[in-house]
Structure 1
């Protein structure tokens, strides 16, 4: 389809579509099957037809991309090949330098802040120390395998690092920094991840409650205590509680309204015990967050250290903070609630995510069968 590339036309472009500008030859917009929109330039270098990605829509507008296309065409008219120039530059670009570009041009504009933070952490701890100073074009499969194998005792973390590397090198191909189909992460298998399920039983909940009371009496931050209790009482994710703002809390409606979460916009029901906690929690002046941090205007960042102290006091050394969310779900199942309702409470976007709790539904069935059997046995015994 031939058309002038304007913002309206870009907004209307559909996945898989390519449009060309009728005023500037070779200047176009390509939309991937996933919906990513990128400005491009098609030209000939000698007998070879070249494709060059100018940049993604967002950082580039139709106007700025057009100006860049005009600049590139001027270079081409002088006999230069921008693709060859990029490939030559890539030979001197290190993995560390490319990673900075990847974060700036892709990760930060498109990913959620928590994912960006995790990418920065994985780059700093697991990628830069091993291949950060290597040329991006020199990285081979054995280098990636060495990084991943060193993390074999942490399969989940290793898989996240592999995914980040794979996407970085896919972008390196798309941006002309490496040849097509040269991703060194290909054929490196992920580690098998075993889903860990740990639920608190009633006795453990009693011990945890006692440990929280003791910790608070001995000077533990009230924000730490409230954060742990809210995780249990609402089934919310840790990040949702730590970054919760007072403007998200609707006391009258007994709801927490999050404009963004792991699964997008979300509403969390606030039951009476959680409502009491929020109503009694002191608000810090000039701090918008419910769970305040040590510095003015910040939220609590690290709940792991105080949690380790609390769980040790309660004798629950194998319990993670995320297990409190699982425990909320297990008590919901034991209470006879349906899986769709539990999924709604937890904010699951996919039914199969909630289905992991289906086996817990056997517990109330056993209890019901025991009650019926006891009545029958008592009647047969003449009681």
Structure 2
């Protein structure tokens, strides 16, 4: 063991000297506990040596190789390590914990797998992980990820897809919240990340414009007329349901496509709830659909008389009410979507800017406009969170104004002797 003043020049001179025949340690003259050692291969390594505040044997923390780490950088790192040890912080243990820590990708993956999300939700999460999180943060150890790292990643994600960037940050935040409460099943009491650690919290997300498009009464009439024409006379193929018919030829639209649109409009159901609907989930005697699994879990959809008649008018071709191309076959699958027929219907009706999901909004806005309370509308739509139904609160206010005016006018009339 030797004592030297560790500087850039002294280290350079030492590294040019003859290779020792055994590992030799050199301690700094000024900073106690700071040093470097040189092995029989000639490699030099900076280290910090300290005794934990609670007592016990000394610990030696490797700081980095000579050449990779400069002498002044190594001195500062040693100073911090020794100071932290005096405060009761064990950097050697911290580094050991860091090496054993899951990466961000592994933490998010375990969250997705363990939480047993619905298939559609899990697939969305995996897409966010693969496309946005993994390329920018995936290899970072979960316990050393900082809010600055997340902010920087969110900024890069936002350049490609602002909304998906928000979803990715929320997924990371949820994974950290879960990781702080859970850990390896074989290590009781050990969590994946420290309690309270969540570098994805309080990240300023991109503004998202809430889109609410409701069909007017005249637009609903136009869409109804277009569907009648489509399923009877037929419509030109240029925007129609058929994929390979000659352009300009009139093609009659599948009655299952128009039935699906009408059922969504009449019930406020989600698209997949109708397209995935099986005959054994339909109870026409009681006028309900009993879905064993929906976006919000088990769900009952009430059918108005018009919807019951639509379902009664459909021929049963397979397991699904809305028959798809594989209806009745061994590997039957539900219809994939309604994009082509819906585009044709809207074009013929002269209605623009309306998505299939807006039919659900139209159902809700119609109910609120007829002075039905938000709790009732939320129950019909299957909202698990009452706050989701609050998007229609302004419509409820308008309905309330009309209601109070009608009631007030009637009472005022009585008071005036009318």
Relative to 1, partners in 2 of residues 1:352 and 1:177: Cα closer, same or farther, differing over 3 Å?
closer
Equivalent of 1:195, from 182, 188, 210? 210
1:370-381 counterparts in 2 under 5 A?
A: none
1:60-71 counterparts in 2 under 5 A?
A: none
Does residue 1:290 correspond to 2:325, yes or no?
no
Residue of structure 1 equivalent to 2:112: 103
| SS of match in other structure, 1:266 | strand
Relative to 1, partners in 2 of residues 1:126 and 1:84: Cα closer, same or farther, differing over 3 Å?
closer
Relative to 1, partners in 2 of residues 1:345 and 1:157: Cα closer, same or farther, differing over 3 Å?
same
* d(CA) in 1 for partners of 2:390, 2:174: 30
1:32-181 counterparts in 2 under 5 A?
A: 87-90=98-101, 94-104=103-113, 106-107=114-115, 109=116, 111-133=117-139, 136=142, 139-149=145-155, 150-151=157-158, 156-173=163-180, 174-175=182-183, 176-178=191-193, 181=196
Equivalent of 2:377, from 337, 342, 347? 342
* TM, length-normalised to structure 2: 0.57
Aligned residues between the structures: 287
Relative to 1, partners in 2 of residues 1:310 and 1:170: Cα closer, same or farther, differing over 3 Å?
same
Could you list the per-position Cα deviations for residues 116-149 of structure 1 after superposition, in whole angstroms to 9, with x for gaps in the alignment? 1221232233223434455556644344324433
* d(CA) in 2 for partners of 1:316, 1:130: 42
Does residue 1:276 correspond to 2:321, yes or no?
no
Relative to 1, partners in 2 of residues 1:300 and 1:87: Cα closer, same or farther, differing over 3 Å?
farther
Could you list the per-position Cα deviations for residues 247-272 of structure 1 after superposition, in whole angstroms to 9, with x for gaps in the alignment? 11101111112233334432211112
Which 5+ residue runs of structure 1 have no aligned equivalent?
1-45, 48-82, 374-383
Contact 1:208 1:311 in 2 (8 A): yes
Q: Which protein is bigger by CA-based radius of gyration?
A: 2
Relative to 1, partners in 2 of residues 1:337 and 1:169: Cα closer, same or farther, differing over 3 Å?
closer
Residue of structure 2 equivalent to 1:25: none
Contact 1:308 1:317 in 2 (8 A): no
| SS of match in other structure, 2:294 | coil
* TM, length-normalised to structure 1: 0.62
Equivalent of 1:247, from 262, 280, 283? 280
* d(CA) in 2 for partners of 1:273, 1:235: 13
| SS of match in other structure, 1:260 | strand
Could you list the per-position Cα deviations for residues 202-222 of structure 1 after superposition, in whole angstroms to 9, with x for gaps in the alignment? 111122223334444324443
Relative to 1, partners in 2 of residues 1:85 and 1:143: Cα closer, same or farther, differing over 3 Å?
closer
Across the aligned residues of Structure 1 and Structure 2, the Cα RMSD in angstroms comes to 3.8
| SS of match in other structure, 2:158 | coil
| SS of match in other structure, 2:121 | helix
Contact 2:275 2:337 in 1 (8 A): no
Which 5+ residue runs of structure 2 have no aligned equivalent?
1-54, 57-93, 184-190, 235-250, 410-418
Relative to 1, partners in 2 of residues 1:191 and 1:170: Cα closer, same or farther, differing over 3 Å?
same
How far did 1:156 drift? 4.5
Contact 1:87 1:177 in 2 (8 A): no
Contact 2:322 2:335 in 1 (8 A): yes
How far did 1:171 drift? 4.3
Contact 2:98 2:141 in 1 (8 A): no
Relative to 1, partners in 2 of residues 1:355 and 1:183: Cα closer, same or farther, differing over 3 Å?
closer
| SS of match in other structure, 1:265 | strand
